[in-house]
Amino acid sequence: MSRRGLLALTAGAGTAITVGAAGWSRVAEASTGRVLASTGPLPRPFGVPLPVPPVARPVRSEHGTDFYEVEQREGRVEILPGRRTTVWGYDGIFPGPTFTARSGRRTVVQVRNSLTVPTVTHLHGGVTPPESDGYPTDLLLPARCAPGRTHDGMAGAHPGRTAVGYRSYAYPLPQQAATLWYHDHRMDFSAPQVWRGLAGFFLISDQEEERLPLPGGHRDYR
């Protein structure tokens, strides 16, 4: 590198330090896209009660394991008062049902894909074995999907573990109490599918947490 090039690089680094986070924030704001206007009337601030998702209930419990079933499907929900929005939700709602689990107690969640696109469910923050971690290429194809079809509509082999219709995710939960969330994790489509509604809370409790003076039961919104 020439002396002139080195001086230019040093000057650029100095400028970055001088501008700082606040300065770069203003630069970033100047380059972002335009704000999209709402096509409907916006609600009065703080006029809508806090939406609290229902708590998922196990379909059965045996041998130290709680078993759940949840369905990914379209739903119509009232996000803005008086207006129905189509979402892709776990059990057709947004956010999806809240799972309440116990540290060290095994939880198995069977997911049915009743949408028209592949999905992958990932427990964000969970200490989870590879086969249940929801790798982006471990696709769950729609229940109505033709055998041998992949997420891009092409027939043939796929690099991940592919299932059709149903998949069970096993969570041993060898971890402390935590507020986790589960969401779609499909390769190249995580953001738009979460934006459409495929996300929910997964709460883990333990004895250490219970000894603390924290809200519990119906007051535990986290």
Amino acid, res. 11: A
- What is the C-alpha to C-alpha distance for residues 29 and 26, in angstroms, rounded to an integer? 5
Q: What is the pLDDT of residues 90-104, one digit of tens each?
A: 999 999 999 999 999
> Please, which pLDDT band fits residue 57 given cuts at 50, 70 and 90?
very high
How deeply is 64 buried, as exposed, middle or buried, from its count of CB atoms within 10 A (0-12, 13-18, 19+)? exposed
Q: State the chain's mean pLDDT as an integer.
A: 84
Q: What is the pLDDT of residues 117-137, one digit of tens each?
A: 999 999 999 999 999 999 999
SS3 category, 131: helix
What pLDDT does residue 191 have? 96
SS3 category, 206: coil
The pairing of beta strand 85-90 with beta strand 96-102:
unpaired
Please give the share of the chain, as a percent, with pLDDT higher than 70.
78
**pLDDT at 218 > cutoff 70:** yes
How many other C-beta atoms lie within 10 A of the C-beta of residue 145? 19
Query: Per the structure block, which two tokens stand in for 33?
Result: 């896209």
What pLDDT does residue 80 have? 86
- What is the C-alpha to C-alpha distance for residues 202 and 129, in angstroms, rounded to an integer? 17
**pLDDT at 106 > cutoff 60:** yes
Cα end-to-end distance, the chain, whole Å? 54
**pLDDT at 2 > cutoff 60:** no
Query: Per the structure block, which two tokens stand in for 171?
Result: 């969570």
In this structure, of 83-92, 95-104, 147-156, the range with the lowest mean pLDDT score is: 147-156
- What is the C-alpha to C-alpha distance for residues 221 and 52, in angstroms, rounded to an integer? 8
Buried b (16+ CB within 10 A) or exposed e, 73-82: bebebeeeee
